[in-house]
Structure 1
Amino acid sequence: MAGVGIGLAVGLAAAPVAKADQAAYTPVTTDMLNNAGSNDGWLMFNHDYSGQDYSQLNQINTSNVGTLTTAWTTPKIDIPDAFEGVPVVNGNYMFVTTAKDHVIAYNATTGQKLWEYVYKLPQAAFKTLCCDTNNRGVALYGNMVIFGTLDNHVVALDAATGDVKWNVSLAEPGVGYSITEAPLIVNGKVIIGSGGGEYGARGFIVGLDAETGKMDWKFYSTPAEDQPGGNTWPKGAYKTGGGSPWMTGTYDPSTDTLFWGIGNPGPWLATMRPGSNLYTDSVVALDPNTGKLKWYYQYTPNDTWDYDGVNTPVLTNLTYKGKDYKALISPSRNGYIYAIDRTNGKLIYAEPFVHDTSITGIKDGVTQTSQALRPALGKTITTCPSFLGGKNWWPIAVDPQTHMAYVPTLHACMSMKGVPVTYAAGLPYLGETFQMLPDPTDPNHLGSFQAIDLDTGKQVWQHQTKDVWDAGALSTAGGLVFSGTPDGKLHAFDAKTGKELWSSPPLGSAILADPVAYSVNGTEYVAVWTSYGGVWPMWAGKLADSLKNTPRFGQLHVFKLGS
């Protein structure tokens, strides 16, 4: 437990008392979280439990967005990795995380730094990272700011001072596990999942007591032989089966149900693990009080292309073929957007949103895959989409006014070949080599930002880009949808028509993160991180060459209306 002591010592040393002109911190209650959609702040990763990344604020709207100007920016933060977190705002307090697990509190209107906590990471934590040193944000509860770390700790800080209140370890570093997602607070519990599917680490989600950090329950995403779903694995394979739930989930208070996406199975090469391999590449519905499974839906059975199912399960109501549904939607890595009845896990519809050859269709609610396009030992295939997916982790936004989903999209394909692999703790567990390729149907556009009709799953409008589009989306009651591009520009579109109404000047680096909106004292702000790193430069090969000179540092940019 040496890491606990180290973290505590660093936290105390790095947490000065909040500035005298900062208002007292307002504790975050369960009632506030249940009603986060109407709060002027941004109280959790996806704004509220629905995961819609929709703000009810409308001061910034289609008629005036063209006057947006910089309200404040942070100094450049000299960490050359991906900043993929969202600012979380409660009143006039903003909390952000950086790459390598720093947590910073700012005055949300001026950018004045209130405190900074620097978590001391052991070298072992960097050994088994799939996709950079990112940390996607914090959760708020009571007087605490709670976050996960790359070495698998969950830490609670005092919101006003940054002092450590508790620090618990969920897994040893260096053997495959890591945590990069923001926690979700539900019913006084901290819900968080593990990363590490590329290392054969058996995925899990835990519920911790928010007051103490004590573990109340643990759900393994790959079931043992004597558990429901265990017969979908060869004997013993679940122990190294991956299935990392590495992105923040959502929650339905009306049914007290937690929804969480589960990642790819291990090894990547599916011939080594015949069966559907539950609950990998799935969304699972859990009781947040016990971790008990209610139902599941699997997007890609026996996945062999790294089509993680971790993309946020976004809660919305829709009408499909004349019938009303309480649904969840998810544009999956496998290139299909799924609408699922969130009361029972039954498929409503699934429609392709990119050029897709791996998935051949849906039969009786089950995704069908191409047997010819499955790699095997000595067999090379070419298929679409790539292992980075038709959409990677980047959050979508849903606008209840337009009834559309706004989807950052990647248009790329890949070749894959099966190679021998043996599991060893702390080493990659893939069994495949790969190369990213342009999509032959449109090799000049790697990215797009598209609007999809929730009632049909069909595209309404689209913006195409030469380079990848790998930033999240924000929609607002002002009739706007925001997202950023790798050239460092934040864009605002008319949510109905897709017309671009404003873009920022280049902000100095790329935009990989999700914008947020919040209001303090009657003034609405939009904030977003700039940085470069993450999955694209690490895994895209030559397709990322055009961005190789992108400056690497983190900086937060906050905008408001000009005069």
Structure 2
Amino acid sequence: MTSRRPVLKTWLFGSTLLALATVGIAAAQPAYPPVTQARLDNAGHSKGWLMFNRSYAGDDYAPFTQITPQNVGTLKEVWSSSKVDIPNGFEDIPVVNGDYMFVTTPLDHIMAFNAKTGKLLWKYDYHVPKVALKTVCCDVNNRGVALYGDMVFMGTLDNHVLAFDAKTGKLLWNVSLEKPGIGYSISGAPLAIDGKVIIGSGGGEYGARGFLAGLDAKTGKVLWKTYTIPSPSEPGGKTWPVGAYKHGGGSPWMPGTYAPSTHELYWGVGNPGPWLATMRPGHNLYSDSVIAMDPDTGKIKWHYQYTRNDTWDYDGVNTPQLINLKYDGKTYKAIVEANRNGYFYAINREDGHLIYAKPFVHDLSILGIDKTGHAINNPKVRPALDKQIFTCPSFLGGKNWWPGAVDPKTNMAYEPTLHACMTMKGVPVSYAAGLPYLGETFQMKPDPASPNELGSIQAIDLSTGKQVWQRKTKEPWDGGAMATAGGLVFSGTTNGKLYAFDAKTGKILWTSPDLGSGIIATPISYEIDGRQYVAIWTGWGGVWPLWSGKLGTSLANTPRGGQLHVFALNG
């Protein structure tokens, strides 16, 4: 993650200029089924797609069997939205409840469609003040919404949380969590649990001290706020030099996961600040970690740190996916994650102890795992002032934020993967509110182990952590993955095509036509009236065109603008 000052632009929906207001499209709306806690607890079995990663387990797995390896070749587009002329990356994961589909776009616009017909039901265009865009790191993303009761919730780049009437789009409340322009931003989707809306901050590249907040869903009242970089008086506070915690980064900028059976919340925490680790000796908790929390109070119960004293921007925000795992003859309630540091992890979610960690990309930064179950940093590839290093993976990681999928039938995880390296060099830096706080320069480089292939999607056996199959591409694989009970894995690529793979073998079974722009979002699937649909946003942007340097030249002319595409079987 790095700094950028994006330009706020007026955007067009089709040919009509959108006003900065809620617009109701039709008086007669479909019935809206309230989203109860019981429905959220069982979202994995829903006909819709009720939250960012489909279920609290974060598995991006749809239990639908209508579309199969035998018939996926007849998949066709049944509706699409008008093109949204915003030249930034579309990273939203649509959320579907009944006939309603809710989507967001860059610069914090939200729309509701009829999920069956594509009819626009309502839209709301939030005005992002220019001061907020000073400290937006990596494109002006909005990754989605949460549902609870009859409401829809969205975070904004200027650190607000908004609640809407799901049926009409009427704004119900608007709460600010932090001032804009001083380092903070919100781009991730919220998570709704037991009448609370939980959301995390971004801003680690600006020295913003990361936090998670729990808000009352009905009123927006902030019920708790937990900083993910502890003060000296809190557990973990002594892992920082004196005073460094105030600007320590550690932003929990992606949504977490939740176990209803134990009422425990799991959330990933981002990179420490500044990037240059020689300025902050110590383990630097809870940066680059997954933390277990009480969602009622925000209290941290345990943690596991993927990369101690991180100096490569390896982050820890990738989705902590919840599974029941059998490994080495023992059964565990586990978290699995393909981490930015290049290792695939399985962690005991009952106590935070490591089960296993296996490399899934070429890795020079991490030498292995020590006896305590933690990564061993390679001292030879740690930058310092005037010391330049070369290492793999790059600061974008072996896998960035885009979700992987977990399939309980195949017992595999499907991971979008980057194969790229970097040079890094330490430079002097001091903290100033609203300015980048890195202390390192960097440049993306090809991976010498895979010089002609920048991306792949791979399947990993959950019982061993070992790769089962992999399909590589010349370009990066920046889109998320979804698995279905029909034996398929769906994922899109930078060439603007959505693919369906055989979940067991990785064979390509279906390829969409060119959808007009690169894909960096995650597909979803839902059922209405007995028909299974697959939906995906196109819209090239995000981190790759901003920070890939010469590695990104082949994609420099990729068309921009977003469009939502929905597919179903022919006939």
Q: TM-score range by the shorter chain?
A: over 0.9
The question of 1:398 aligning with 2:375 is answered no
Please say if 1:41 is aligned against 2:48.
yes
Match of 1:321 among 316, 328, 340: 328
> Of the candidates 562, 566, 570, which is equivalent to residue 554 of structure 1?
562
Aligned to 1:282: 289
Q: CA deviation at 1:51?
A: 0.2
Aligned to 2:15: none
Q: Over residues 104-123 of structure 1, what are the superposed CA-to-partner deviations in whole Å (9 max), with x where a residue is unaligned?
A: 00010111101110001100
CA distance in 2: counterparts of 1:338 and 1:264, whole angstroms: 18
Preserved contact between residue 73 and residue 556 of structure 1 (Cα < 8 Å):
yes
Match of 2:80 among 63, 73, 85: 73
- Alpha-carbon distance, 1:186 to partner: 0.9
**3-state SS of 2:477 partner:** coil
2:530 & 2:160 partners in 1: Cα distance?
37
Looking at structure 1, the residues matched to 402 and 20 of structure 2 have their Cα atoms a distance apart, in angstroms, of 34
Structure 2: distance between partners of 1:87 and 1:377? 44
Q: 2:456 aligns with which of 429, 441, 448?
A: 448
Larger deviation, residues 362-371 vs 137-146? 362-371
Matched, 1:463 2:440: no
Matches within 5 A, 1:144-543: 144-362=151-369, 363-543=371-551
Counterpart of 1:6 in structure 2 is none
For residues 38 and 485 of structure 1, the distance between their equivalents in structure 2, rounded to whole angstroms, comes to 28
Structure-1 residue corresponding to 2:104: 97
Q: Contact 2:135 / 2:183 at 8 angstroms: preserved in 1?
A: yes
* Amino acid aligned to 2:201: S
CA distance in structure 2 between the partners assigned to 1:422 and 1:321 by the alignment: 48
2:119 is the alignment partner of 1:112:
yes
Q: Structure 2 counterpart of 1:120, which letter?
A: H
Distance 2:81 2:431 in 1: 44
Please give the alpha-carbon distance, in whole angstroms, between the structure 1 residues aligned to 2:27 and 2:118.
Answer: 12
- Are 1:129 and 2:143 an aligned pair? no
TM superposition score normalised by structure 2:
0.96
Measure, in 2, the Cα distance between the counterparts of 1:381 and 1:116: 48
- Take 2:47 and 2:485, find their aligned partners in 1: how far apart are those partners? 12
Q: Helix, strand or coil: the match of 1:513?
A: coil
The answer for the alignment partner of 2:9 in structure 1 is: none
**Structure 1 residues 379 and 12: alpha-carbon distance in aligned structure 2, compared to 1, 3 A threshold:** closer
Q: 8 Å contact 2:209–2:246 — kept in the other structure? A: yes
Match of 1:30 among 34, 37, 41: 37
Is 1:62 matched with 2:59?
Answer: no
Distance 2:538 2:373 in 1: 40
Instruction: Report the AA paired with residue 75 of structure 2.
Output: L
Question: Which residue does 1:88 correspond to in 2?
Answer: 95
Secondary structure of 2:135's partner?
coil
- Secondary structure of the residue that 2:275 maps to in structure 1? coil
Question: In structure 2, what residue type is equivalent to 1:353?
Answer: F
Q: Distance in 2 between matches of 1:482 and 1:297?
A: 30
- Does structure 2 retain, via aligned residues, the 8 Å contact 1:191–1:208? yes
TM-fit CA distance, 1:11:
9.4
CA distance in 1, matches of 2:59, 2:26: 32
CA drift of 1:25 comes to 1.2
* Alignment RMSD: 1.0
- 2:20–2:125 CA contact under 8 A, matched in 1: no
1:283-308 per-position Cα deviation (integer Å, ceiling 9, x unaligned): 00000001111100000000000000
Unaligned runs of 5+ in 1: 1-9
Corresponding residue number in structure 1 for 2:148: 141
**Quick one: which amino acid aligns to residue 437 of structure 2?**
Y
Contact 1:19–1:114 under 8 Å retained in 2: no
Q: How many residues align?
A: 553
Shift in Å, 1:14: 2.2
Paired amino acid for 2:502: D
Could you tell me how far 1:161 is from its partner in structure 2? 0.9
Amino acid at match of 1:367: A
In 2, are the aligned partners of 1:192 and 1:248 still within 8 Å (CA)?
yes
CA distance in 2, matches of 1:247, 1:134: 12
Deviation at 1:366, TM superposition (A): 1.4
Counterpart residue type for residue 192 of structure 1: I
**Displacement after TM superposition at 1:17 (Å):** 5.6
Q: Which amino acid aligns with 2:405?
A: A
AA aligned to 2:337 is S
Q: Give, in whole Å, the separation in 1 of the partners of 2:403 and 2:531.
A: 25
Write the distance in 2 (CA, Å) between the matches of 1:26 and 1:320: 40
Whether the 8 Å CA contact 1:11–1:164 is kept in 2: the answer is no
For residues 13 and 269 of structure 1, the distance between their equivalents in structure 2, rounded to whole angstroms, comes to: 43
User: Secondary structure at the residue paired with 2:73?
Assistant: helix
Task: Give the SS at the match of 1:559.
Answer: strand
How far is 1:15 from its partner? 2.6
Moved segments of 4+, more than 3 Å: 10-13
The more displaced of 11-20 and 328-337 is: 11-20
- Are the aligned partners of 1:525 and 1:558 in contact in 2 as well (CA < 8 Å)? yes
Map Cα deviations across residues 97-148 of structure 1 (whole Å, 9 max, x no partner). Answer: 0010000000101111011100011001111011101100000111111000
Secondary structure of residue in 2 paired with 1:372: helix
Distance, in Å, in 1 between the alignment partners of 2:123 and 2:442 is 40
SS in 2 for 1:15: strand
Deviations 1:383-426 (A, max 9, x none): 00000000000100000000000000000000000000010000
Does the CA contact (< 8 Å) of 2:520 and 2:539 recur in 1?
A: yes
Alpha-carbon distance in structure 1 between the residues aligned to 2:492 and 2:448:
25
Cα distance in 2 for partners of 1:19, 1:50 equals: 37
The answer as to whether partners of 2:34 and 2:149 remain within 8 angstroms in 1 is: yes
Within 2, Cα distance between the matches of 1:171 and 1:539?
27
- Segments of structure 2 that go 5 or more residues without pairing to the other structure are 1-17
Using the alignment, how far apart are the partners of 2:46 and 2:507 within structure 1?
28
Instruction: Find the aligned partners of 1:243 and 1:441 in 2 and give their Cα distance.
Output: 31
State the Cα deviation string for residues 209-245 of structure 1 (Å, max 9, x = none). Answer: 1111111111111000011000000001000000000
What TM-score do you get using the length of structure 1 for normalisation? Answer: 0.97
Q: CA deviation at 1:372?
A: 1.2
State how far apart, in whole Å, the 2-side matches of 1:281 and 1:18 are.
Answer: 46
CA separation in 1, counterparts of 2:519 and 2:445? 23
Deviation string 1:193-222 (CA, Å, 9 cap, x unpaired) is: 000000000000011111111111111110
Quote how far apart the aligned CAs of 1:335 are: 0.2
Deviation at 1:16, TM superposition (A): 1.4
Q: Quick one: percent identity of the two aligned structures?
A: 68
DSSP-derived class of the 2:265 partner:
strand
Q: State the shift of 1:19 in Å.
A: 4.2
Contact 2:210 2:229 in 1 (8 A): yes
Say if 1:12 and 1:463 are closer, same or farther in 2 by CA, change over 3 A.
Answer: closer
Where 2:546 maps in the other structure, the secondary structure is helix
Tell me the SS of whatever aligns to 1:315: strand
